[in-house]
Amino acid sequence: MHQDIGRRLKHIRETLRLSQRQLARQSGVANATISQIEAGKLNPTVSMLKKVLDGIPISLGEFFGDAFETRDRVFFRADELTEIADGGVSFRQVGAHLGNRAIQLIKECYQPGAGTGKHAITHEGEECGIVLSGRLEVTVDDETAILGKGDAYYFKSTRPHQFRNSGNTPCELITACTPPTF
């Protein structure tokens, strides 16, 4: 999937008539890193891709979404959820394009040892989640907790935050973000 990420990033960047250097300046990510992502030589972490996309700006959901939906859908089958991550992390979002929506709902799965990356994530809004199975290490600012089945979190997304599966089995959770800026 990382080559798809690179092709998609390049297509969006070129459609917006941004050079790699311009996107690097706007996002704070090195030009060489953007070049490697676009060439499919680097598979970015969720936090790295989010940082690049903030320079466009475009959300992860919009980046991974298919064609815009012409009307507001009500029902989504499990196989219709939009995957907005790659690697050891899976984010399956309800709906593809959330520009006219107030909430972003995601079923997340972290493989053992997988996480959002070494850089903390920040974005507008608030987010919360509840762990369905496994263990999740959540860091918000300088606070860290290991959450298990039934445990939850809720915080303002402008606070730097990271997630990592600290257990040895997959960790699944349901999360929500408002507005849908992740």
Per-residue pLDDT tens digits of the chain, which is 182 residues long: 556 889 889 988 887 778 899 899 889 999 999 999 999 999 998 889 999 998 887 888 778 775 434 456 788 888 888 887 777 899 998 987 676 678 999 999 999 999 998 889 999 899 999 999 999 999 999 999 999 999 999 999 999 999 999 999 999 999 999 998 77
What pLDDT score was predicted for residue 2?
Answer: 57
Is the fold of 2-63 the same as that of 72-178?
A: no
d(CA 170, CA 21): 38
d(CA 84, CA 95): 11
d(CA 148, CA 38): 37
Two tokens, residue 101: 């929506």
The CATH code that applies to domain 2-63 is: 1.10.260.40
Phi, psi of 42 (to 5 degrees): -135, 125
What pLDDT score was predicted for residue 35?
Answer: 94
Which CB contacts under 8 angstroms, 24+ apart, belong to 145-150?
Answer: none
CA atoms within 13 A on the CB side of 157: 18
What pLDDT score was predicted for residue 70?
Answer: 42
Which residues fall within 8 angstroms of residue 4, CB to CB, at 6 or more apart? none
Which residues fall within 8 angstroms of residue 84, CB to CB, at 6 or more apart? 60, 61, 63, 64, 65, 91, 92, 93, 106
What pLDDT score was predicted for residue 3?
Answer: 63
Domain ranges of the chain: 2-63, 72-178
Two tokens, residue 164: 């990592």
Model confidence pTM above 0.85: no
What pLDDT score was predicted for residue 112?
Answer: 97
Number of residues that this document lists for the chain: 182
Two tokens, residue 100: 């006219």
What pLDDT score was predicted for residue 1?
Answer: 52
User: Which CATH number is 72-178's, of 3.10.129.10, 2.60.120.10, 1.10.150.120, 3.40.50.10380?
Assistant: 2.60.120.10
What pLDDT score was predicted for residue 62?
Answer: 77
